[in-house]
């Protein structure tokens, strides 16, 4: 969590009794607020309805002065907060509770809205998200859903901006064209593996990264697998350059399209052919601004390579577990529609009425069983602030999210 802002302090102060405030000096109050707030997730504060007491702040007509004095927020975010205050005056009384959550959401995730229309549209989407969260919580009670950085996006916008895998027909065509000399296909004996195994606890997983608004999950997935292979075999944690493989596979040879989607095996082929450099040598910038992909650099020293990749049999989750245990974290594709609002726990997502739609690449880093429910552990590429520190769990053995169709292992 970033450093406590004045806004965060005010949010928690609404939960502290006036009698206690009278007894505390400013220094003591600041320490109390800081200590208590850092124990809480923003959703916990939402659930306790502390934001309802924002009404007192809004009634004082000093909100612009208050916003100007906030520390740790950009001027663009402060402008968004001011625009939201003006928009609030047009709301129906019944929307106040949702607006108070929206106000805190803007500050926490440092949102930047350009005008009244942008604020209005974003608030409507935010309200739809709140309703969807309630529905998903009922459908999947072993998981927790809540507000996150994607809560002002429609499901369609979310998929378009924060995934990056093409449709199934594209994948089928790709698999028919993969160079067989670089690809293995095998089925393993799935007996005698532990019931629970997590590469995070066995020095096999590198830190979660963030693809930003670039549709290049395919690259982050491949790089995550390569980083894990290097770590498992050398004990050395590297942050490899996602930008290099986004830029250098943005061509017909490797079948990728920069921030407009691509394929994980195309990236793995590139690393087999050329190796991959460190992120410090070619930093990821495609997730920012207008998502312009730079040219492929020359002369960058490679930090590691892999020797081959393996396309794993479809619809065989037992085999996937065996590969994860024996080889290391593996790449797989999913339908990300069901994870937009995920916070923690084990997802159990029913197949949509229109069927699954594969659109996102992730890394399987482990599996386990909890209270009779088997699950997968996935590493995502939306930063450590999303989900469970950047990871999520999904029910295992039922092809949830269509996760057992397209999977790859890489070999050091």
Q: What angle do CA 189, 192, 193 make, to 5 degrees?
A: 95
248 is catalytic: no
Q: Are 254 and 266 in contact (CB under 8 A)?
A: yes
170 is catalytic: no
As a whole number of angstroms, the distance between CA 31 and CA 26 comes to 9
Q: Are 167 and 358 in contact (CB under 8 A)?
A: yes
What are 411's two structure tokens?
Answer: 């070999």
Q: Are 322 and 193 in contact (CB under 8 A)?
A: yes
Q: How many CB atoms lie within 10 A of CB 24?
A: 14
As a whole number of angstroms, the distance between CA 178 and CA 167 comes to 17
- Of 303, 409, 387, which Cα lies nearest the Cα of 342? 387
The set of residues, in sequence order, having a beta carbon less than 8 Å from that of 287 and lying 6+ positions away, is 210, 211, 212, 213, 214, 216
Q: State whether the Cα torsion 86-90-93-96 is positive or negative.
A: negative
Give CA separation, 235 vs 204, 208, 220, in Å: 8, 18, 21
* Alpha carbon distance, N-terminus to C-terminus of the chain: 35
Q: Which of 210, 250, 255, 380 is catalytic?
A: 380
As a whole number of angstroms, the distance between CA 280 and CA 8 comes to 34
The set of residues, in sequence order, having a beta carbon less than 8 Å from that of 242 and lying 6+ positions away, is 209, 211, 216, 219, 220, 223, 279, 284
Q: Which of 214, 216, 217, 259 is catalytic?
A: 217
Q: Which of 214, 259, 359, 360 is catalytic?
A: 360
6 is catalytic: no
| Helices marked H in 249-327 | 264-274, 317-326
> Kind and range of the H or E element at 379?
strand 373-379
**Placement of tokens 């790089």 in the chain:** 223
As a whole number of angstroms, the distance between CA 78 and CA 97 comes to 21
What are the residue numbers of the active site? 217, 360, 380
């Amino acid at each position: 969590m970033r450093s406590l802002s004045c806004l965060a302090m005010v949010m928690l102060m609404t939960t502290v009794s006036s009698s206690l405030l009278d007894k505390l000096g400013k220094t003591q109050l600041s320490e109390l607020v800081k200590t208590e707030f850092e124990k809480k997730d923003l959703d916990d504060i939402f659930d306790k309805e502390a934001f309802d007491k924002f009404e007192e702040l809004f009634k004082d007509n000093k909100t612009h002065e208050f916003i100007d004095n906030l520390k740790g927020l950009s001027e663009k975010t402060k402008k968004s907060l001011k625009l939201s205050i003006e928009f609030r005056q047009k709301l129906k009384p019944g929307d106040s509770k949702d607006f108070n959550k929206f106000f805190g959401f803007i500050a926490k995730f440092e949102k930047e809205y350009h005008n009244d229309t942008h604020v209005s549209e974003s608030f409507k989407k935010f309200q739809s998200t709140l309703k969807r969260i309630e529905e998903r919580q009922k459908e999947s009670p072993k998981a927790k859903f809540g507000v996150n950085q994607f809560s002002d996006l429609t499901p369609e916008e979310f998929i378009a901006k924060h995934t990056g895998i093409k449709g199934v027909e594209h994948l089928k065509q790709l698999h028919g064209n993969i160079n067989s000399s670089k690809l293995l296909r095998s089925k393993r004996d799935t007996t005698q593996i532990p019931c629970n195994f997590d590469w995070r606890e066995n020095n096999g997983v590198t830190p979660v990264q963030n693809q930003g608004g670039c549709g290049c999950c395919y690259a982050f997935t491949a790089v995550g697998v390569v980083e894990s292979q290097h770590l498992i075999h050398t004990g050395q944690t590297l942050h490899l350059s996602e930008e290099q493989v986004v830029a250098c596979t943005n061509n017909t040879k490797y079948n990728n399209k920069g921030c407009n989607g691509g394929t994980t095996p195309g990236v793995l082929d590139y690393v087999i052919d050329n190796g991959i450099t460190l992120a410090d040598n070619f930093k990821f910038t495609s997730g920012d601004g207008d998502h312009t992909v730079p040219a492929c650099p020359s002369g960058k020293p490679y930090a590691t390579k892999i020797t081959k990749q393996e396309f794993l049999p479809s619809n065989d989750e037992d085999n996937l577990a065996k590969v994860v245990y024996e080889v290391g974290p593996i790449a797989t594709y999913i339908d990300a529609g069901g994870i937009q609002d995920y916070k923690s726990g084990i997802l159990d997502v029913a197949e949509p009425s229109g069927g699954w739609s594969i659109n996102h690449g992730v890394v399987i880093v482990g599996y386990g069983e909890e209270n009779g429910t088997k699950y997968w552990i996935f590493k995502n590429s939306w930063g450590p602030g999303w989900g469970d520190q950047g990871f999520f769990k999904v029910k295992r053995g039922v092809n949830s999210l269509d996760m057992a169709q397209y999977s790859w292992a890489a070999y050091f």
